[in-house]
Structure 1
Amino acid sequence: LKVPNILVIGHSRCGGIQRLMSHPEDGSVPFDFIDDWVKIGLPAKIDVLKEYEGYDFKEQCKFCEKESVNNSLVNLRTYPYVERGIRNKSIGLLGGYYDFVNPA
């Protein structure tokens, strides 16, 4: 890649995250094409459900929106050319989150 940085941005009220968080984990509902797209965030969902078990759905979604950014940054490092770029300092990975409800 000939870019100095890769930026991953999550955002509030993400419909994909809401879909991921509401999908039953017992396998009773098969994944459809949208779910196939968002299930890459399953590690974030699992972490959030464990860490924020007592929180309401809306709050859990907010935490998952942020944790999904971290998850994506970890996933990017699985690409050899990204990892090489990080090691030789030619690529930086950055994560961000934008809150549409309470912008700052």
Structure 2
Amino acid sequence: YVQWQEVPQNRWKIGALQEIIARAGLIGKNSTPYTPAGRHNFMHNKVLVIDDTVITGSYNFSRSAQFNAENILFIESAPLADAYSAYIDHLVKKYH
């Protein structure tokens, strides 16, 4: 939340994210910060599954992303969408 706290017009995002997490019943995971000799254990996924379409990439789903150098893929594939859905279900069960 640090970057959101530093920019006044972005502070509303903190409450919105906390509400989404609470409603979904998700829990967080403490992560070990990256060091060259350490074990990096932090997951950073950006993926949406809509019907048979997978949307993924570096693109942050925010207004500011429209002005950044981001990439986004729209992949129409029922088998891939099914695989991603199963993966997302696995993550929800793991952190719920």
- Identify whether the pair has TM-score above 0.5, normalized to the shorter chain: no
TM-score under structure 1 normalisation?
Answer: 0.26
Q: Higher relative contact order at CA 8 Å, sep ≥6: structure 1 or structure 2?
A: 1
TM-score under structure 2 normalisation?
Answer: 0.28
By percentage of residues, which structure has more helix?
A: 1
